[in-house]
């Protein structure tokens, strides 16, 4: 197991800590074998259209803690996504019956002259102004490419301000250029919370930590039946609640790409056991996950009753959908762990997954336990997946693969991707709630949405006839991994 070092101000990036990659061209089985044999290598692109910024992922987790302020030490352009996070924050408050509040986000507005003379004074003034305006329980300072390039000593500043303001002022090192793996931003956010917010336990509770985005609270009934209480973190948690997550009975992941750093940190530093099985997607995957939960929480007998009950209720309906979807081909594009989850769901429902464009790949997580490998579990249960690409949102590679494979359905986890399927006349499905497909009921949830998407084939076909594509015939005649150097270069 890799050691989580909370004495360091900055979290090590995933490339060096886990050996994560953003480029691969081959099959799922080949990728799993490379990952477990130590032969995995990054296959750098000669051309990129875009790249995710890990600062956005850090902000995603920190910005929705209920009683904090965020100071983004950056040019004002980096605050362009404030409105999106604020919109989500407001909408999700309504869903949770929380009192309305706007996001408390501030920018230091670094300018060109500040890159020469420094912007520490701006940072100090902005933190003080944020404290004066909103009286937060803590302030997180997120960094940027600009603050990193000029070498600002953020850690010294936040320590002085913590003493002055008598609240935690915490740095989060998430410069966009630090890592090409966008999920390093999640690790940076959790590292900040583990370092400066979480306190040593004084007792043990029956709460179970569930690191989350802002999905539905689907764990409440299950954990209540087992005698435990779901504790969703970090969005919509308070600083006081986060201080005591070290007292929890366990940590459960809805997305290992999101939160295994937090799970490993809580287990190593505070002894909170981490449920290491891949999340519960698909019937077989849910069976395995529940049994691991039962083992960690010492509820094996009750878990077996739940599995029996759910099988009797769900399996007949799944068989009906399998008959409907027989012979249908699908393509998946999503982040790593959730992409693996969608693959399991589709194959459970009888669809043939002919390929995938997954945004990055972690050979193992921070717990270094091979049973956490969701892709390996997919391959073990359902078999290999051809045309498996690790592709960090490169639309040109995705379009090439879709045009070549011509699936009956495209399933995406993130917005901005489904339009490419529609342009090619392929029905596309986007599900925003990351927990929509979780567990036994999740299989039926997805089945219903897939049925709706496939029924739209006439509309999508008509729409594609009036759509234009920016990519030339020359590119579409190439292999999708042409700018990666081909399959051989990615594996030798």
Which residues does the chain have with pLDDT short of 50?
none
Residue 170 Rama label (left phi>0; alpha psi -120 to 50; beta): beta
Residue 356 Rama label (left phi>0; alpha psi -120 to 50; beta): beta
pLDDT tens-digit readout, 203-261: 999 999 999 988 778 899 999 999 999 999 999 999 999 999 999 999 999 999 999 99
Query: Cβ–Cβ contacts within 10 Å for residue 230, how many?
Result: 18
Question: Which residues of the chain does CATH 3.40.50.1980 include?
Answer: 50-196, 311-491
Cis peptide before 471 (omega within 30 of 0): no
Say what angle helices 54-62 and 184-196 make with each other, to 10 degrees.
40
CB contact set of 383 (below 8 Å; sequence gap of 6+) = none
Q: Is 28 exposed, middle or buried (0-12, 13-18, 19+ CB in 10 A)?
A: buried
Nearest to 69 by CA among 128, 131, 121: 131
CB contact set of 88 (below 8 Å; sequence gap of 6+) = 64, 214
Q: What is residue 196's predicted lDDT score, i.e. its pLDDT?
A: 97
Across 314-381, the runs of DSSP E, i.e. the strands, are 329-334, 352-358
Query: Cβ–Cβ contacts within 10 Å for residue 351, how many?
Result: 26
Say what angle helices 120-134 and 154-165 make with each other, to 10 degrees.
30
Q: Rounded to an integer, what distance in angstroms lies between the CA atom of residue 320 and that of residue 176?
A: 47
Q: What is residue 49's predicted lDDT score, i.e. its pLDDT?
A: 85
Q: What is residue 491's predicted lDDT score, i.e. its pLDDT?
A: 55
Greatest pairwise CA separation for the chain in angstroms = 69
CA distances from residue 195 to 7, 139, 198 in whole angstroms, order as listed:
7, 14, 7
Q: What is residue 41's predicted lDDT score, i.e. its pLDDT?
A: 83
Q: What is residue 490's predicted lDDT score, i.e. its pLDDT?
A: 54
CA distances from residue 131 to 107, 166, 337, 423 in whole angstroms, order as listed:
13, 11, 37, 48
Q: Rounded to an integer, what distance in angstroms lies between the CA atom of residue 275 and that of residue 307?
A: 18
Across 314-435, the runs of DSSP E, i.e. the strands, are 329-334, 352-358, 388-391, 409-412, 428-430
Q: Rounded to an integer, what distance in angstroms lies between the CA atom of residue 132 and that of residue 129?
A: 5
Dihedral angle computed from the Cα positions of residues 148, 40, 47 and 421, in that order, rounded to the nearest 10 degrees: -110
Q: What is residue 492's predicted lDDT score, i.e. its pLDDT?
A: 55
State the SS3 of 61-72.
Answer: HHCCCCCEEEEE
Alpha helix (H) residue ranges in 63-215? 82-95, 114-117, 120-134, 145-149, 154-165, 184-196
Using DSSP's 3-state secondary structure scheme, residue 80 falls into: helix
Nearest to 26 by CA among 384, 429, 423, 451: 384
Whether residue 133 contacts residue 115, with contact meaning beta carbons closer than 8 Å, is answered with no
CATH top class, domain 50-196:
alpha beta
Give the helix/strand (H/E) hosting 450.
helix 439-455
CB contact set of 338 (below 8 Å; sequence gap of 6+) = 255, 257, 413, 434
Architecture of domain 311-491: 3-Layer(aba) Sandwich (3.40)
What is the Rg, in whole angstroms, of the alpha carbon atoms belonging to the chain? 23
What is the chain's length? 492
What's the gap between Cα 280 and its chain centre?
15
Nearest to 4 by CA among 370, 277, 261, 270: 261
Q: What is residue 487's predicted lDDT score, i.e. its pLDDT?
A: 57
Dihedral angle computed from the Cα positions of residues 23, 29, 35 and 36, in that order, rounded to the nearest 10 degrees: 180
Nearest to 140 by CA among 46, 242, 209: 242
């Amino acid at each position: 197991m890799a050691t989580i070092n909370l004495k360091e101000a900055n979290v090590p990036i995933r490339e060096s800590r886990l050996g994560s990659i953003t480029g691969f061209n081959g099959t799922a089985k080949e990728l799993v074998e490379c990952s477990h044999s130590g032969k995995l290598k990054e296959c750098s692109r000669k051309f990129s259209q875009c790249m995710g910024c890990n600062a956005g992922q850090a902000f995603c987790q920190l910005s929705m803690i209920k009683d904090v302020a965020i100071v983004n030490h950056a040019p004002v352009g980096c605050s362009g996504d404030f409105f999106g996070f604020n919109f989500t924050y407001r909408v999700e408050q309504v869903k949770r019956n929380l009192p309305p509040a706007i996001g408390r986000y501030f920018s230091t507005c670094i300018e060109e002259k500040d890159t020469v003379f420094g912007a520490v004074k701006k940072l100090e003034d902005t933190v003080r102004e944020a404290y004066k305006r909103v009286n937060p329980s803590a302030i997180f300072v997120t960094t940027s490419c600009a603050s990193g390039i000029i070498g600002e000593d953020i850690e010294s500043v936040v320590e002085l301000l913590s003493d002055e303001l008598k609240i935690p002022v915490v740095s989060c090192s998430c410069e966009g250029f630090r890592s090409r793996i966008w999920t390093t931003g999640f690790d940076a956010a959790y590292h900040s919370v583990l370092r400066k917010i979480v306190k040593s336990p004084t007792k043990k509770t029956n709460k179970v930590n569930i690191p989350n985005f802002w999905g539905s609270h689907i764990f409440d009934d299950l954990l209540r039946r087992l005698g435990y209480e779901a504790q969703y973190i970090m969005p919509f948690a308070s600083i006081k609640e986060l201080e005591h997550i070290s007292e929890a009975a366990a940590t459960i992941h809805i997305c290992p790409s999101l939160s295994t750093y937090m799970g490993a940190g809580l287990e190593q530093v505070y002894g909170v056991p981490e449920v290491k099985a891949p999340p519960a997607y698909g019937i077989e995957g849910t069976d395995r996950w529940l049994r691991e939960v039962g083992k960690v929480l010492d509820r094996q007998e009750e878990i077996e009753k739940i599995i029996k009950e759910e099988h009797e209720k769900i399996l007949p309906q799944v068989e009906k959908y399998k008959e409907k979807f027989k012979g249908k081909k699908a393509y998946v594009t999503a982040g790593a762990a959730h992409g693996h989850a969608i693959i399991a769901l589709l194959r459970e429902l009888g669809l043939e997954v002919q390929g995938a464009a997954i945004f990055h790949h972690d050979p193992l997580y921070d717990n270094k336990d091979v049973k956490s490998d969701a892709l390996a579990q997919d391959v073990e249960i359902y078999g290999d997946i051809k045309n498996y690409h690790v592709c960090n949102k490169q639309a040109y590679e995705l379009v090439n693969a879709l045009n070549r494979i011509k699936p009956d359905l495209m399933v995406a986890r993130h917005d901005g991707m489904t339009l490419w399927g529609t342009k090619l006349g392929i029905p596309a499905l986007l599900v925003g709630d990351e927990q929509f497909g979780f567990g036994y009921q999740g299989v039926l949830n997805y089945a219903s949405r897939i049925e709706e998407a496939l029924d739209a084939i006439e509309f999508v076909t008509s729409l594609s006839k009036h759509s234009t594509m920016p990519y030339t015939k020359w590119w579409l005649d190439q292999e999708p991994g042409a700018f990666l150097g081909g399959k051989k270069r990615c594996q030798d």
